Amino acid sequence: MRRRTILITGASSGLGAEMARQFAAKGHDLALTARREDRLADLRDELTKAHPDRTVVVRRLDVTDHAQVFAVFHALDTELGGLDRIIVNAGIGKGTPVGTGRFDANLETTMTNYVAALAQAEAAMELFRERNAGHLVFITSVAGVRGLPRSLTAYGASKAAVSSLAEGLRMELLGKPIKVSAICPGYVKSELNDHVKQTPFIVETEVGVRAMVAAIEAEKGRAYVPAWPWEPLARFMKLAPLPVLRRLI
């Protein structure tokens, strides 16, 4: 396995922090960004103590500040001598039923999960196109497979948009050295879904992220993780008639 330098956004907690732990354990160097600097500093100290030979750099970054995204990505690329893999992970889950007076929550979810992901993709691809190499990873969701009701409508739509963005880039870059992956987790325990009452097939953070990391390391184009039960469930969700799907959700 080649040692890589990996940038992870939204790395201060949840899936991002656990990915950082598992990638460090696999021998990779890390650039970690998030809004909460104190948590990033704690994570950096934890990782460098466990793996003294790893380089771990942290930066505060609000991904909805698009100019800052470009500035931070380029600065980290220069500081670390080139980023090999960029993982677009930062996201929120504040969606509410459409038309119930909380457009602000649905707008924030969409701006963070999709528009900010587009900004990160633009910044990452500028770097990768320049050197004709790199691996761009989008952390999307099984919730993006089909339109979903109630509080999941805007959230699922934002993740569907990210999946479409990833697929478009992957189609463009087929056969070229730049790789693009869309990783679609099912229910994995994190701060993002603490408020969700029904979480079927939920797995612990470490278990879910282990499946995510394996798919990323394999540079899979699209992966539903953990594979069981989410690969067959995703296929079912794509084909199920809306009345059937509605009864199950």
Which residues are known catalytic residues? 155
Report the distance separating Cα 185 and Cα 183, nearest Å. 6
Phi, psi of 175 (to 5 degrees): 80, 0
Report the distance separating Cα 245 and Cα 249, nearest Å. 6
Alpha helices in 2-62 (DSSP H): 14-25, 37-50
| Pairing status of strand 178-185 against strand 134-139 | parallel
Judge residue 101's burial from the number of C-beta atoms within 10 Å of its C-beta, 0-12 exposed, 13-18 middle, 19 or more buried: exposed
Q: How far apart are the first and last CA of the chain?
A: 41
Tally Cβ neighbours within 10 Å of residue 55.
17
Residue with tokens 């189609």: 171
Q: Is the peptide bond before 226 cis (omega within 30 degrees of 0)?
A: yes
Residue with tokens 């750099």: 57
CA distances (Å), 199 to each of 12, 34, 58, 185, 204, in order? 23, 26, 32, 13, 12
Phi, psi of 32 (to 5 degrees): -115, 130
Length of the chain: 249
